[in-house]
Amino acid sequence: MIAGMDLNLLRIFDAIMAERNVTRAANSLHMTQPAVSNALNRLRYELDDPLFIKTHNGVSPTQKSQLIWPVIRDALARINGVLRKNEFDPSTSQAEFRVAMSEYLTGQSLRSLLLAQTNIAPGVRIHLRPYTSDTATQQLERGEIDLAAGVYTGLIPSLRATPIDTLRFVLVMKRGHPLLQKPTLSMDDFLGAKHLSVNIFGTSEAPPIVDKELAAAGLRRNTFLTINHFVLVPEILAESDLVSVLPLGVARNSAYNDFLEIVEPPFKFQERVLSLIWHERTDSMHSHEWLRNEVMKACGAQVKSGRP
């Protein structure tokens, strides 16, 4: 846009493009026809293009008008959305949201979130992004995502967070597993079993938190298989002699739950709080409040707003 240009000229241009008639555009804007014509002449001068050619029943846009209209219309819609942020109606909204969510939470809540979105807000689009604590907080700061969900340490004052779940780690294996025949599960039995490990990033530079905690205690488990998705773990465990340390919800909410046993591991893993995280700039925007509530409901949590 040319520096110093009156934004109202773009609003008038948008109306003429929509109506293809200067008089009808004036009526829709509650302006006089001469005032709209005068504004159009100013915009023609600013953009160095006739913009519209007269026809027998109105005006026809030039090639330049056709080229710039989608961009101008989108920009006006965004500005209008920000200025009218408290008038959000999910049933008619065409809003798009970018959400960074941990793989565990995605597996636990995506189906409920999708059903709610389809029924309540059919025009809303939600784009999921991968979540890590470092990248998500930076993306929220830069405005690259609208919401995040995962483990959050609460180090950035401009971010808001509310707890949605607690990760409690348990040992999961198939029913009838040989380890279950022992009166007590010793640390040696636990470490020596064939473990299925979940490494979201698939690299040794970023080991799972389970292995980090064991290493800090000078321990190491027998990792037989590593995959990068929680959702596949219950099926693999149900059909093999592998064991896995998992968040309780992965096993409990799985379709394979009836084929699995959940026991307490001999090593006490630290519980971790999962939080919903957003930037303070969207704190009071109704569209974002709606999104946060929908994600909270999908995760089965009660909304409690506040600083981390």
CA pair distance 186, 171, nearest whole angstrom: 13
- The boundaries of the domain holding residue 278 are 96-166+272-298
- Residue 20's nearest CA partner among 48, 68, 56, 64 is 56
Encoded tokens for 227: 């995959």
Classify residue 151 by its DSSP letter. E
Residue 138 lies in a domain: yes
Task: Tell whether 107 and 227 lie within a shared domain.
Answer: no
Domain assignment present for residue 142? The answer is: yes
Judgement on whether residues 184 and 133 belong to the same structural domain of the protein: no
Residue 88 domain-assigned (yes or no): no
Per DSSP, the three-state class of 244 is: strand
Report CA torsion sign: 202, 206, 278, 108: positive
SS3 1: coil
Residue 226's pLDDT band (boundaries 50, 70, 90)?
very high
Same structural domain for residues 153 and 231?
A: no
Query: How confident is the model over 1-45, as pLDDT tens digits?
Result: 455 677 789 999 999 998 899 998 888 888 899 999 999 999 999
Task: Tell whether the model's pLDDT for residue 206 goes beyond 90.
Answer: no
- Let me know whether 56 and 139 are in one domain: no
Top pLDDT among 249 and 114 is at 249
Is the CB of residue 11 less than 8 Å from the CB of residue 76? yes
For residue 81, the model assigns a pLDDT of 64
Averaged pLDDT score across all residues of the chain: 86
Output the pTM of the full model: 0.64
d(CA 293, CA 308): 17
Give the pair of three-digit tokens for residue 75: 């920009």
- We report the CATH number of the domain holding residue 125 as 3.40.190.10
State whether 198 and 145 are in the same domain. no
Q: Give me the number of domains the chain comprises.
A: 3
